[in-house]
Structure formats: C-alpha cells, structure tokens
Structure 1
Amino acid sequence: MKNKVYDEMNKGLELIHQGYQIKYDIWQDQVLFTWRWWLGCGLVILCWVGWSFFRKKRSSDRLFYAGLFVMTISVSLDAIGMQLKAWNYIYPLIPLIPAYLPYDLALMPVSVMLLIQVKPKINPFYKAILFAALTSFAGEPIFKWLEIYEPLTWRYIYSVPFYIVIYLIANWLSKRSNFEKII
C-alpha cells in the first residue's frame, strides 16, 4: 500500500529529473566544447600531470590518500551547497554531477597534496590558513570572474573555515602510519 510520503517523494524525484533534463539540454547546446568547458578539462589534466612530476615519489601513496579525502569531501560539500542554492556552476564539465569536478577532483586535492609535501616541518595550521586564504579570496573570485562559478547566498569568507578544516584533516591523514598489512 502506497502512502502520501511515497507519492510526494516520487513527485519530488520527478521534478529533480525534469530539472536535470533542462540542465542537460542547456549543457549540450551551450556549454559542451566551449572554451570554459575546455578550460575545465585542461585544468584536470594539467593538475594531475603536474602532480605526477612534482610529487615526492616515495610519499605518493600517503599523499594520494589525503587527496582522496579532499576529493570526497569537496564533491560532497559542493553537492550540498548547490542543493541549498548557495552557489551554482554555469559551465560544468559533466551536467549530472552537482559539483565543479575540475575544482573538486583536481585543483583542491593537488593543491593540498603539494602543500603537504612542501616544507613539511612548517606548522600545518599556517599552511591551512594560506590554503584557505588563497582558495577563498583568489581561487573562488577567479572562477566567478570567468563566469564558471556563481555565488548566490555564499560569500568568500564563509569558505575559509571549511578550507582550513579540510587541509588540517588531509594533513593529519597524510601522517598516519598505522596501517596493518593485508594478509
């Protein structure tokens, strides 16, 4: 027996599907293969190719472990922010994912991994503040200027504590050495 909640949730799902269909049609007609779309593709490739050259080879696994955390939390928070209409991405790489993948899967993790490995003796809190300031007050405004990112109810300053926490957790994860061997 179906109830009112079931019907309302299905109605909501149908509205989401209609919204994504509209978004996909716009993306296919007006975003795909534009210079902003190619810029996103290029950022992903450049970040990861650059990381492969500049990473400390012996620390690759632990850095990538921290990078995977950054990717996961970035995509998750991005999806939440878009669902709450705090911001929007006008030129997404992939229209069905509510996040800007070049930022979440390349720029953020690669920046964090590079910062972790450079001058590892510096207090991580200082690096976290630097990362948060550059990302919030340089990165986000650049993407707004490029008309890729549109903050709706979000202000750059709101991002600072999130970026600090993300960096500090990633740094902490990169220092873990208590993995047990799989037998």
Structure 2
Amino acid sequence: MDYTNKLIQVQKQFAHFQKKFFFEETLYSYQWWITLAITVLLWVVWVLVVDKLRLKSIIIVGLITSLMATVMDDVGLSLAAWHYPYQIVYFTTRFNSVDFAVIPVTYMLLFQYFTRWKTFIIATASFSLFAAFIAEPLFVKLGMYIIMSWEYWYSAPIYFAMGILVKWIVDKMDKESN
C-alpha cells in the first residue's frame, strides 16, 4: 500500500473516531459548555462595547488575528504539537473558540482601548503572558488542550508579535486612508 492510500485510511479512521468521540464524550460535557460560553460571551461583550466609529479598523484587526491564529493552529496540529479534544462541533480539529472568538475579540479590544503604542505594547505584553502562562495551563488542566511537543513559553512571544504586527498593519492602513 502506498503512502497516499495509508493516509486516506488513517484520515477516514480519524474522522470516524472524532465523530464518535464528539457525540459520546464531548457534546454537553462541561468542557463543551465552557467552550460555547466563552465564544458567546466574548462576542456579546464585543457587540456591546465596540466603537462603531472605528468599526472598519477594529474588524480588520479581528479578521487578521483570526486568520493568523487559524493558520498557526493548523501548523501546530499538523506538526502534532498539540491537540484539542473538545470542540463545539465535531468536524474540526482546531479550537475554534480561541481562533474565532478569544484571539480576535481580545486583539480588537486591545486595539480599541489602547490606541497609543506605549499602552498597547504594555497591554499586549500583559495579555501574552496571561494567555501563555495562565489561560493555556488552565485549558490543559481542564483537559481542553493537550500539549504534545510544545511549551507554554513558546506562545507568549507569538501572541505578542501577532498583536504588534496587526496594530502596525492596521495603523498604517488607517494613516494611508486619511
């Protein structure tokens, strides 16, 4: 059997086990409820507090950070650096609550409330340390994030760099459009 056929077989088995795990272990578990609550609550908060006058720039921040998080998540999952056993839906392996809620909403709020570079850097550094050394270990403890070949301290500079890069891009776009 060639590698392509082996990979297809493994992928079919994985899809079968993933669906079985979701409906027998994940759906309505406390991890599932936490994931759903995080996603819904963050977006509700965002809708209530977003600065409508800066909506375009803020949404661009959210889209870019969500895209970056999704790509990085796919790379980490492909390299077997981590695994997320609990999803809101069964047909994904990414932690969509983080990629589509936690990361974009957090960076959009940071961008909205910390407009000056100095305060933005401090807030982004604080978030990066919190996410890497408090949130990630908490998700591990709750069984929602399994680390296989990753260390928490790898995450902090990535979170920080993501925030800095996105603010630089969006500030530059805003400056050029004015």
TM-score by length of 2: 0.90
Q: 1:36 offset after TM fit, Å?
A: 1.3
Structure 1, unaligned runs of 5 or more: none
Q: 1:179 offset after TM fit, Å?
A: 5.3
**Aligned mates of 1:80, 1:16 — CA distance in 2:** 17
The CA RMSD over aligned residues, in Å, is: 1.9
Deviation track 1:99-128 (CA, whole Å, cap 9, x = no partner) reads 101111101111111111113124243333
Q: Verify the 8 A CA contact 1:87 1:150 in the aligned structure 2.
A: yes
Q: 1:14 offset after TM fit, Å?
A: 2.6
**Is residue 168 from structure 1 mapped to residue 178 from structure 2 by the alignment?**
no
In the alignment, residue 152 of structure 2 is paired with which amino acid? Y
Q: Verify the 8 A CA contact 1:131 1:167 in the aligned structure 2.
A: no
**Is residue 23 from structure 1 mapped to residue 18 from structure 2 by the alignment?**
yes
Which has the larger share of helix? 2
- 46, 50, 54: which one aligns with 1:55: 50
Q: 1:11 offset after TM fit, Å?
A: 2.9
Aligned residue number for residue 9 of structure 1: 4
**Is residue 70 from structure 1 mapped to residue 28 from structure 2 by the alignment?**
no
The structure that has the greater radius of gyration is 1
In the alignment, residue 58 of structure 1 is paired with which amino acid? L
In the alignment, residue 18 of structure 1 is paired with which amino acid? Q
Q: Verify the 8 A CA contact 2:61 2:111 in the aligned structure 1.
A: no
SS in 2 for 1:126: helix
Deviation track 1:53-77 (CA, whole Å, cap 9, x = no partner) reads 1111111111111111111111111
Aligned residue number for residue 143 of structure 2: 147
Percentage of identical aligned residues: 25
- Between stretches 152-161 and 121-130, larger displacement belongs to 121-130
- 72, 80, 85: which one aligns with 1:85: 80
Query: Within 5 Å, which residues of 2 pair with 1:128-143?
Result: 128-143=124-139
**Aligned mates of 1:95, 1:179 — CA distance in 2:** 42
Aligned residues: 175
TM-score by length of 1: 0.87
